Amino acid sequence: MEPGMIIAGGNCGENDCPTISCADNGMVDVQGYYPNGISAPVGETIARIPAQLIIDAAQVLVGESR
């Protein structure tokens, strides 16, 4: 899969978050909503996404959908 390819969710550039997309190193990038009242260590961030979005992305990664 190509880096930047959306594998689950919407296109966050069009106000359709959250989303999971492919990264270029065998990992995935997650973009979602920043939850209030939760802090992350320096250099990290937290994105809140629905659990179903993870399931959808996993199915794409193993070739079951999309």
Residue spans per domain, the chain: 6-61
Q: Give the Cα separation of 39 and 22 in Å (integer).
A: 25
DSSP secondary structure letters along 12-66: GGGT---EEEE-TTS-EEEE-BPPTT----TT----B--HHHHHHHHHHHTTS--
Q: Give the Cα separation of 63 and 34 in Å (integer).
A: 30
Q: What's the pLDDT at 43? A: 92
Edge to edge, what strands does the sheet with 6-9 contain?
Answer: 6-9, 19-22, 28-31
Low-confidence ranges of the chain (pLDDT < 50): none
pTM for this entry: 0.77
